[in-house]
Structure 1
Amino acid sequence: MPNHSDAISFEGRVAIVTGAGGGLGRGYALELARRGAKVVVNDLGGARDGTGHSDAALKVVEEIEAAGGTAMSNGGNVAEYDQMAEMVARAKEAWGGVHVLINNAGVLRDKSFAKMTSEDFAFVVQVHLIGSANATKACWETMREQNYGRILMTASSTGLFGNFGQANYGAAKLALAGLTKTLYLEGAKNNIKVNTLAPVAGTRMTEDLFPAEAFAAFAPEKVMPAALFLVSEDAPTNAIVGAGAGVFQASYVTLTQGTLLTGDDLSPEGVAAHWAQITDRTGEIVPQSGAEQGMLIGKLLMGG
């Protein structure tokens, strides 16, 4: 444990980590268990492109149990809602609830958009976006009843900022940041906090993107502190956090003050002429809900 007097504990908590058979998910599961959580280690055990199956989750459960922790394996596919509902039911039956969900499962099918099939696009969105929504939905009512829930979505710099050859992955990952922004609002009254993590780590998913020495510097263990903080009791909510190699960052979706166009300026030519004002970042805000865009427009209409 760290030397901080306010050590973060997960005693008495039940946590589910999807895609926990290796890489980041395995690291989260091991540390959650070390800090007292009972952990459902979910992993379909497929290859990086989502094909095939293995018993990767069982090995992580064995590691947790060998260290004195409590865990169960689950081979459910996040893309199948019924399998996620069954996973949550088993956790509740064994341990009485579900308090923490880390949506980490994912796949890659990288190609330039010109060469990408619609199937490759849909499959990646299905696993990342629909899969995270399925796992979250399966936990949601339990978390509402408990008046306690901590949910983490895994986004990516690709989703937030783009990356050549990953249109499918990027679309799904920014969608997850968007899902967080509504779920944090809907969960607030039941003490459900929802956050987004954009990790940069050397794992099976990224092994061919990193040179060997960088692979070690970007060890998954160096992302883990952000993930565990974001699902802890005193976590913030609606944060987008970047993490890699021991560096932690915050990312924001912002809105400029904008410009009111009237008369002849209310035209495509007017938008072109005022583009510098429209995009001027002076006084930009970080809206906490979609309503704030309309409120800012209203302010300009009233001469504010």
Structure 2
Amino acid sequence: MTPDASSPSAIDAVPLRHPWRWVAAIVIVVLVALFLYGAATNDAYRWSVYREYLFDERVLTVGLFNTLQLTVYSMVIAIALGVVLAVMRLSPNPVFKAVSWVFLWIFRGTPVYVQLVFWGLIPVIYQTIQIGIPFTGPTFAEFSVQVLAIPFLLAVIGLALNESAYMAEIIRAGISSVPEGQLEASTALGMSWGLAMWRTVLPQAMRVIIPPTGNEVISMLKTTSLVTGVPFTLDLYGIASREIASRIYEPVPLLMVAATWYLVVTSILMVGQFYLERYFSRGASRKLTGKQLEALAKAQMGDGSGV
């Protein structure tokens, strides 16, 4: 196909120059270099103490291990409870809607540290639990809540209940992103409302749910540093800042040790989140493959030749 003589000539596009970008980049690099040099030469950081305790056995086998356990256990419970709360929030049953709304209102409206302190005081507030006929009836069973005075368990419960309120909203947003026709088609095939949610809607909503859930996992990892309010002091922050730093009177390098391991685990979680998002976004990419671009070009050439 020969080009038309009357067609306009190709435009020779000249990219704009942005000298201020280079100036800003140089300024940033200089400032970062000055900060790193100042930190490396500042005796207050106690880098020798930092290197000594970076791979300390108590920091790794006790602090880091307990932090990972708190994160995993709390997130698993929070995700499971969040699914239930989200489905209740979207349910046509007004009682389920009201219960879910009140739960979210309480746990999203109060600080997580206050909730953790409250959970730590549960064995003091409710010393015994009685099972029987309410008010004036007889008691069939009674047991002491003091047996639940396990800081680790209370920390998991407190973190999970707080996080479940946020996960419920994330899951509800993901469910709402699925077209209503999917639910209608499933119910038309004979599925119940709950089965249609589980088999049809939730799998499609994962594409929207996964990215913010990954962020919540990372946030949960860092929120575990607040379990001192229970009190539980055997997490990464507690071991570094309370068990070791208070004994050797070196808070700065031990805080750097804790921050380093938080950063390492967070980086690993970010990599996992990237691959998980890519897995669930299969088939949703707007980028055309090489074959698709070639077919599109041939189709356009065919349309032009026929003009």
Please confirm whether the aligned pair reaches a TM-score higher than 0.5, indicating the same fold: no
With structure 2 as the length reference, what TM-score do the two structures score? 0.25
Higher-strand-fraction structure: 1
Higher-helix-fraction structure: 2
Pick the structure with greater CA Rg: 2
